Structure 1
Amino acid sequence: MAGAAERSRRRNSGSARPGADLDTAREHWLILVGKGNNGGDGLAAPGTCVRRASPSRWCTRPRRRRWPGKPPVQRAAAAALGLPAVVHGRNSIDFAGCTGIVDALLGTGSAGAPRGAYADLIAAANASGKPIVSADIPSGLDADTGALHEPCIHAAVTVCLALLKRGLVQYPGAGAAGRVVVRSIGIPAALAREAGVQASLLTPEVLKTRLGVDVSRRRSPEGHKGTYGHVLLAAGSLSMSGAGLLAARAALRAGCGLVTWTLPAALLPYVIGAAPEIMLAAAGGGEDGTWNAGTAAEVLRLGGKRDAVATGPGLGRFAGDQEWLRMLWEGIGSPLVLDADALNILAECNYTEWSSPGRPVILTPHPGEMARLAGVSTPEVQRDRIGLAQAYAIKHGVVLVLKGSHTVIASPEGEVYVNTTGHPGMGTGGAGDVLTGMIAGLLAQGLDAVQAAAFGVYLHGLAGERAAGSRNDPSALVAGDIIEAL
């Protein structure tokens, strides 16, 4: 992944870090070496250890007559340094006598579950209780999807070479990688773009240089409420009116100038004054505070005068909801954000036959909603979040925001951004409604769909981090805290 180094050196999935004893002068490292280029990378480590007066030895699988790749060169260098070697199955391997283990068994070219000597060495390394440093990826981890084969190394640190691998920012792989650092081996980052790499970590630098976003969120001294756009939000029902309120408040906190919240007329008396900054508009509906098919005309009328439209949070399901959503899809001329029940409605429609909207559409599913949209199971979604999001965005011509840890943003052109902000405390009801409002608020201010989706996700996670940090216990975090931390 291009653009990875800055954030990956500073952040991580929260896994354990090796202790300070790993920096002492008399370390004794056991280096597990495979047959390919990853093994060659491991064999380069003893030279560093010798320079630091740290004795090492290296262990390999049973020898073959021919070593593919670069291991022969590095093996000769290790021999020249006088470093002892042992062979699995022939020599006794003393895991207890080492300070730590370097895992250089299997690299990005491996596929499937480790077998034979590789499986034995991985299992023994994990059972040793010693800190493990993996070269490029932990052996047994799928470099593209983050899937873990059995067995798989569970590393304290993964030293990723040249560019971050996709599997290290997708779970469960991110949990097995430990602290991830990226180190240059002389490959220019520009080559990744030339080779067609389309996935990047979402960092402030990427937001600024690649997406052209002003991350400072500066305001013009001549600006006024009309300068920063007007959002229309069609959301909320009797049992879920709070979802609409959260999304509306979040749109304002994201910086847009005006928000109109339209909802069934029967609910208006109950939400008046709940957030005095928000304008309210009745959209018909039944006396029970639910939507009906006839409300689409009023939403279309209101949406024609707005800079961005969002719907779905707290919407509920109702008779005629598929035709209702189709009318909005085909009739709204402003960028459209769909979340929650709007996504569930969309999943039941053959919307590829609908008329092209002629303006951007942003979908913001969580994994369960994504599964319904794509017609697969939730575990299948989670097995390759980046690949699935990218393929869906390209096929359907939408900007897709696949929520979860390391949220994925995919564009219709196949560009993918993996978010680096967020906190486990954000797993609370309403957090997704807040994100919907934020993205709509950024759209209204003139950002394009990819900019608004990416920047909205980044700011949402950052606010979640701040909100969690202000609590005695991050598990006490609620969605409204995220809005107040913006």
Structure 2
Amino acid sequence: MYVVTSDEMRKLDHYTINTIGIPSLVLMENAGREVANEILVWTKKHKRSNHKKWLILVGKGNNGGDGLVTARHLMEAGFEIDILYAQSPDLFKGDMITQHNITKNLKLLTDVYQNKTIDWNRYEGIIDALLGTGTKGAPKEPYASLINKVNESKLPIFSIDIPSGLDADTGILYQPCIKAEKTITLAFLKCGLVQSPGAEIAGDVIVKPIGIPISTTKQYSIQTFSLQTSVFEKKLNVNMNLPRESNTHKGTYGHALVVAGTLQMSGAGLLCSKSALRAGCGLVTWSLPRTIANQMLGILPEVMLVPVEDKKSGEWNVQSAEDIIQLSENKQALVIGPGLGRFKEDDLWLRKLWERIECPLVMDADALNIISDAEHFEKWDRKDTPVIFTPHPGEMARLLNCTINEVQENRIQIAREYAIKHKIVVVIKGAHTVVATANGDVYINNTGNTGMATGGSGDVLAGMIAGLLAQNYTAEQAAVLGVYHHGLAGDRAASKRYSQHSLIAGDIIEEL
């Protein structure tokens, strides 16, 4: 499913109207009809009366026009409707004038908001058609006070296209912002609806067609996608239900090498190795400091342990690079970083691995922190084999030398630009994990839950991605599949517990 920015949506609208020739009033009519139908579905589902009034809040732009069309169709379905204009109709332009005139001719009740007291007890629900995707910045008066009053009403609110006050591109909540029970977004998902906190304040989001052909996305090279089955099948060319053939063996499904763990964080390597196996990898070798290798014997018998000399410190050292390079031969994937820790000359150690190892790399946790502190990372050479970075927002901020807030406020574009610049795949973890590729494609995940914000969850994901890489999935496929199934496993694990709060990383592995 395509996800668009406000600018991309404007271009798609413009192309449909001016090149294809579908009039804007037709698109507006389709939009209002779809919204009205969703209100009808909701009232039937919740056994609400259609004889109690609904209040439609109307701004001066095209979003308001969609609201007026919605009002007409609800009226025809037997609803009682009040229309409240945020501003005087004297300010209307274009299609909004046409819709206002139709409303007058039908003698629908309208009023202009002037900071009046509103009797909320009269209404069953509210339809928010105040501010559309083209609006930037915090709502100004009279919109601001109206939005505050609407939120205080405690009535169910249905937003058309996007909740008023939400940034359509970033998901940032300006103040005030409508808190919607449901958002009926038109034609395509908007970026702000699939990023936190916008995704949460938008409530249940549903996409409704309005007549803009799907083929227009190719005209403007839309490259952002929400993860749905159709995306895996049509965009990524992945069969989600591909069975294994009977005449195969463990070697068929690849061999992954895990370089992870220290005395203080040995569990990270354990989680990473186990999840690589659970992802379907045929063989996993875990390389770790010798001091902790003895402690791990028999804990996960399916994994082969290969210790490196650590002089009884339980930590890594620069001399171990040659051992890892040798171990990586004939491996199909290598994950570096979970529980790795920091050590003297770790940048030299990592640079050797980066430049000499030929199999695909998954760089996680402290491997990313080493890179962020390394001088002249841009000059590190890399063989033409895939690399996947899996930072959480803090690690991404360190890589870019910016703040976490700056990352969170623009996750899609930051991931895309970094992936293109470094010719890698970037996975920015967190709510609605973002996967970006070197060709500019971005995938936004919709699985997972807050219980997965727990230590070790990222180690599980890194192992899953490495396990998929080892099975000859491309870096793009492995990253997206790993993220999606990691979230699904977390959802299954959470459903079996009294509360998401009690979820731990091992629960996620058990649901793979």
TM-score (norm 1): 0.94
Checking the alignment, whether the CA contact within 8 Å between 2:52 and 2:122 is kept in structure 1 is no
User: Is contact 1:254–1:442 with CA below 8 Å preserved after alignment?
Assistant: yes
User: C-alpha deviations, 1:348-396, integer Å up to 9, x for none?
Assistant: 1231111133111100011111111111111111111112111111122
Q: Does 1:166 align with 2:180?
A: no
Say if 1:377 and 1:19 are closer, same or farther in 2 by CA, change over 3 A. Answer: farther
Q: Does 1:221 align with 2:246?
A: yes
1:334-345 residue pairs with structure 2 within 5 A? 334-345=359-370
> CA 1:93–1:470 in structure 2 vs 1: closer, same or farther (change >3 Å)?
closer
Alignment partner for residue 328 of structure 2, among 287, 294, 303? 303
Secondary structure of the residue aligned to 1:99 is strand
* 8 A Cα contact 1:237 1:315, kept in partner: yes
1:309 shift after superposition? 0.5
Superposed, which structure 2 residues align to 1:47-446 within 5 Å? 47-63=72-88, 65-89=90-114, 93-349=118-374, 350-446=376-472
**Which whole-Å CA distance do the structure 2 matches of 1:323 and 1:239 have between them?**
22
Q: Deviations over 1:222-271 (max 9, x none)?
A: 11111000001111111111100110000001001100101112222111
Aligned length: 474
What one-letter code is carried by the residue in structure 2 that aligns with 1:466? R
CA distance in 2, matches of 1:116, 1:91: 13
Seen in structure 2, the aligned counterparts of structure 1 residues 256 and 185 have a Cα distance that, compared at 3 Å, is same
- With 389-398 and 295-304 compared, the bigger mean Cα shift is at 389-398
Deviation at 1:272, TM superposition (A): 1.0
Match of 1:226, SS state, is helix
Identical counterparts, % of pairs: 49
The TM-score normalised by the length of structure 2 is: 0.89
Residues 260 and 92 from structure 1, CA distance in 2 versus in 1: closer, same or farther, beyond 3 angstroms? closer
Structure 1 residue 323, shift from structure 2 partner? 0.6
Return the offset for 1:418.
0.4
Check conservation: 1:255, 1:442, Cα contact below 8 A: yes
What's the CA shift for 1:27?
3.1
C-alpha spacing 1:427/1:92, structure 2 compared with 1 (3 Å) = closer
User: Which aligned segments of 4 or more residues in structure 1 are displaced greater than 3 angstroms?
Assistant: 17-23, 90-96
8 Å contact 1:86–1:93 — kept in the other structure? no
Contact map agreement 2:362 2:389 (CA 8 A) in 1 = yes
1:440-478 Cα deviation digits (max 9, x unpaired): 000000000000000000111111111111223332221
Which stretch of the first structure deviates more once superposed, 124-133 or 311-320?
Answer: 124-133
Q: What are the Cα deviations for residues 396-437 of structure 1, in whole angstroms up to 9, with x where unaligned?
A: 211000001110000011100000111221111111000000
When the two chains are superposed, the root-mean-square deviation of aligned CA atoms in Å is 1.7
Q: Given that residues 237 and 289 in structure 1 are in contact (C-alpha distance below 8 angstroms), is that contact kept between their aligned partners in structure 2? A: yes
Displacement of 1:24 after TM fit? 2.0
Contact 2:341 2:366 in 1 (8 A): yes
Name stretches of at least 5 consecutive residues in structure 2 with no aligned partner. 5-41
C-alpha distance in 2, partners of 1:126/1:195? 37
Are the structure 2 counterparts of residues 143 and 295 from structure 1 closer, same or farther at C-alpha, using a change threshold of 3 Å?
same
Contact 2:115 2:142 in 1 (8 A): no
- Residues in 1 aligned to 2:430 and 2:175: alpha-carbon distance in whole angstroms: 24
How far 1:92 moved relative to its partner?
Answer: 6.1
Q: SS where residue 150 of structure 2 aligns?
A: helix
Structure 1, unpaired ranges of 5+: 5-16
Deviations 1:149-184 (A, max 9, x none): 111111111110010101011111112111111111
Q: Which amino acid aligns with 1:246?
A: L
Residues 258-300 of structure 1: per-residue CA shift (max 9 Å, x gap): 0010111222211111111101112222311110000000101
Q: Report if the CA contact (8 A) 1:18-1:157 is conserved.
A: no
> 1:45 maps to what in 2?
70
SS for the counterpart of 2:145 is helix
Cα distance per residue 1:84-136 (max 9 Å; x no partner) = 11011287644442221111111011111111111121111112221111110
Aligned to 2:2: 2
CA deviation after TM superposition for structure 1 residue 48, in Å: 1.9
Which range moves more in the overlay, 459-468 or 192-201? 192-201
Contact 2:3 2:191 in 1 (8 A): no
Counterpart selection for 1:452 from 458, 461, 478: 478
Verify the 8 A CA contact 2:425 2:435 in the aligned structure 1.
yes
Cα distance in 1 for partners of 2:116, 2:506 equals: 61
Structure with higher helix content: 2
Separation of aligned partners in 2, 1:427 and 1:93: 41
2:34 equivalent in structure 1: none
AA in 2 matched with 1:207 = F
Structure 1 residues 253 and 21: alpha-carbon distance in aligned structure 2, compared to 1, 3 A threshold: closer
